[in-house]
A and B are shown apart, each in its own frame.
Chain A
């Protein structure tokens, strides 16, 4: 059994929090580039150019891409042949977030209680999703999530009879309602199937997939392409100021579900779709 010290997890998370907030991953740059080439509106193109300049400034001048450096969503895949030693893993993850957000000049946007709303001042706690996988590695993904777009996300408990058309309507409804609030061009993560919480998890997880990747399931891949085209036909455009690039990508994950249900979750993300991964 391989042993990994939890302090290594803390270090990795701290670095990933910073990395994600200062530079987008290469998949996001690729879809961005594509958007700039195909945007038809002059104002839309101007906004996309500004966003690209923004990315450049963020990187060279060390200023976070966006002031909303998010709530840290952390995915941890733990190989079942790994022994995590040296303390509590959960504490180590929060410590990594604390370190990253403090040392990285990132905004502290988390409040201790949803009603009383006192800022925790170090952006902890993180939202953590664990999974146990085969092997002797630990894979950590940090996906800081801004709430301008998070607030526009939706869950729909559809009926089986609603079928694929119902899924399309659900996604289009969420995107249309999000409009300019979600800092378009957006990235849309969709979870279909499972249960109430499973489809929400899938939608979030879909946002961490490479934005330029496509589903391996033929009908899902087609659905991704069709929805992307439909969304871009809404005219919302970059910044919501009109244009043909309302979304950069639609990524969908599916899971088996119950005979009586068709849950659909739509997790909206902005163009600052941050995810950084490290394998320990």
Chain B
């Protein structure tokens, strides 16, 4: 089913209606963060320091873009493998993070965190960075500039295409979808 949602999330019922397998178009604000930014935020949290972005009702896109050409908003901008963020994600979900966009499997702890906090894990199509960059209308670095491609960016997206992999109930598309096409032998 095709759905259209806005981020930050104003009413969580919209997320709760999403089902694993739904095709979703996101409009609004996303924050990018990948390995190094996650580690730094996690350490800040442990040290009792404030985080550079507000997790509440927001979504993180696991992505580190290629450099933008002059006059362009961003370079290639597809998802990176989410499992590398599994160590850090549950803590951010507990702070009110409502969505994560990446590719690939998640750990049990992350799935539990998703269900507990009624959040969603989306996949963007891996290796479609040129296409996905077309749905990003603005980008600016908001923290950790020294990390280069791994800095935290605030993105404006319009109808950014993603697929629900793990919904608020914990249904997991990666498990169900493959079964449907499995062949014996």
Contacts and interface: CB of A to CB of B under 8 A. Distances in A.
Given A57-B134, A63-B130, A148-B104, A235 B179 contact: yes
Contacts of A51: 125, 127-128
A154 B130 CA distance: 29
Interface residue range, chain A: 35 or more
B98 interface: no
B36 interface: yes
A183 interface: yes
Interface stretch (B4-12, B42-50, B69-77, B89-97): B69-77
Contacts of B69: 62, 105
A180 B103 contact: yes
Contacts of B67: 105-107
B123 interface: yes
B113 interface: no
Interface in B136-182: 147-149, 161, 163, 165, 173-174, 176-182
Interface of A is mostly: loop
Nearest to B36: A117
B131 interface: yes
Interface in A202-217: none
A136 interface: no
B99 interface: no
B181 A54 contact: no
Contacts of A43: 21, 163, 177
B163 A239 contact: yes
Interface string A38-49: 001101100100
Interface string A232-243: 111111011111
A108 interface: yes
A222 B126 CA distance: 30
A108 B182 contact: no
B104 A64 contact: no
A54 B130 CA distance: 6
A65 interface: yes
B104 A180 contact: yes
B63 A67 contact: yes
A159 interface: no
Interface of A: 40-41, 43-44, 47, 50-51, 53-55, 57-58, 61-69, 105-109, 117, 119, 121, 146, 148, 151, 179-183, 230, 232-237, 239-244, 270-272
Interface of B: 21, 36, 63-69, 75-78, 80-81, 83, 103-105, 123, 125-131, 133-134, 147-149, 161, 163, 165, 173-174, 176-185
By Cβ-Cβ distance, the 7 closest A-B pairs, closest first, are A242-B177, A181-B104, A235-B181, A183-B126, A233-B183, A235-B182, A63-B130
